[in-house]
Amino acid sequence: MSSRDTILEIIGRSQAVILVLDEEGKIVYASEALENKLGYARSSVIGFSINDQQAKALSGQLWEKVREAQSSGSPWEGDLTIRARQNVLIPTHTTITPVSSGSDAKTSCVVVLSDISDIIKDRVQLSNERAKYRRHFQNTYNFLKATAHEIRTTMNSILGFTDLLQYDLEDTLGEEQSEFLRNIVSSGKRMIRTLTDIQELAELEAGNIVFHPQEILLDTVIENTVENILFLIKPENLKISTVIESPGAIAQLDKDRFRQVVENLVVNAIKFTDIGSVTIRQRRLSESFVSIFVEDTGVGISESFMKHLYQPFHQEETGFIDELAGSGLGLAITKRLIERMGGKIALQSTKRVGTTVTVDLPVLRWDKNVKKK
């Protein structure tokens, strides 16, 4: 068998329908798939022009594209519907490649028709699954939103009455009774924090949170955020420090959301560090990116727990500060906020040694007038 015959045999066995047309628009070759896929005998079309009825039965639109390709000398690619035997319509991905043997010669064409019925069926199924998921998610989101509102309203009433009891009965309550009231307040505030986190996570997942980017100097926001945290939380046996190694990072970010990211990470580090230090460090990663590190000497995270790190409601330890106790939503929210701002988060940790969280964020430029403190 000659090389030409071998090539023709390989082409003939292709799953795609392959047609070759000469310069006059006559079909001079058809692969076996014409019969296997479309039900037409090859002899019924070979030798016929694209203007003949036998050829037109396949698809009038196909031959229009063939004429355009032959006339322009440019290939064409797209999706066309082909009519098989018994009037069955088959969606295909079609390529038409004009072939010219010389500058003065007319152009012949190679047409390849690939059946994409299964692909379209998968697309429809995927689209239906997405719609089903969106409906399910929207129902869940609506339920969470309504439930959070009802519980928060009730809990605020409970906390309000508890505050009144503490104030009115301050001189008559015993120490144990006062402790009970303090526990009610503490648990109530924790419940409200959890509800707020659940609602925010749901809003993020639903894409309902609108970001308002503006030019901000990251150095200042980081330093102010840490100062505010230390004003509210005064951890004992802990050294908290901020180190701006590369000053002048100006970024186009939502200021409040960036502050929230820094606050979440720093509070998390303080919560899980009993003795030692928490260091917030800013460093230039490149001309276009800045790295922010939050390093602590706390309890650390086991290797087995790392896969659950950003999953909602997963928490390996409860932390040392009751007032900061959470529900395992902080990192899940933080990761989504960072990604929405075009950044990424990474975490390295060793159990009973400490943890370093790294956040990389895009910057607009570096202000050389901002000096290192």
Contact present, 249 and 363 (Cβ < 8 Å) = yes
Number of neighbours of residue 154 by Cβ within 10 angstroms: 12
- Whether the model pTM is above 0.75: no
CA distances from 289 to 137, 220, 286, 328, 342 (A): 34, 17, 5, 29, 10
What is the token pair recorded at 349? Answer: 């940790």
Report the pLDDT value the prediction gives residue 155, as an integer from 0 to 100. Answer: 84
Collapse the DSSP code of 338 into the 3-class scheme (helix H, G, I; strand E, B; otherwise coil) and give the result: helix
For residues 341-351, one letter each, b for 16 or more C-beta atoms within 10 angstroms of the residue's C-beta and e for the rest, the string is bebebebebee
The class (CATH top level) of 213-366 is: alpha beta
Position 166 pLDDT exceeds 90: no
pLDDT at 248: 94
More confident call, 55 vs 255: 255
The candidate with the shortest Cα–Cα distance to 317, out of 307, 308, 328, is: 328
Distance (Å, rounded) from C-alpha 359 to C-alpha 361?
A: 6
Chain segment 91-147, per-residue pLDDT in tens: 999 999 988 766 555 678 899 999 998 899 998 998 898 888 878 877 877 787 788
Mean pLDDT within 324-330: 63
pLDDT at res. 327: 60
Helix, strand, coil share of the chain (percent; to 5): 45, 25, 30
| pLDDT on residue 199 | 81
Half-sphere exposure (CA, 13 Å, Cβ side) for 143? 6
Please state the domain extents for the chain.
3-115, 123-206, 213-366
Q: Per CATH, is 3-115 categorized as 3.30.450.20? A: yes
Of all residues in the chain, the percent with pLDDT exceeding 70 is 88
Provide the 8-state DSSP code for 87: G
- Amino acid letter, 44: S
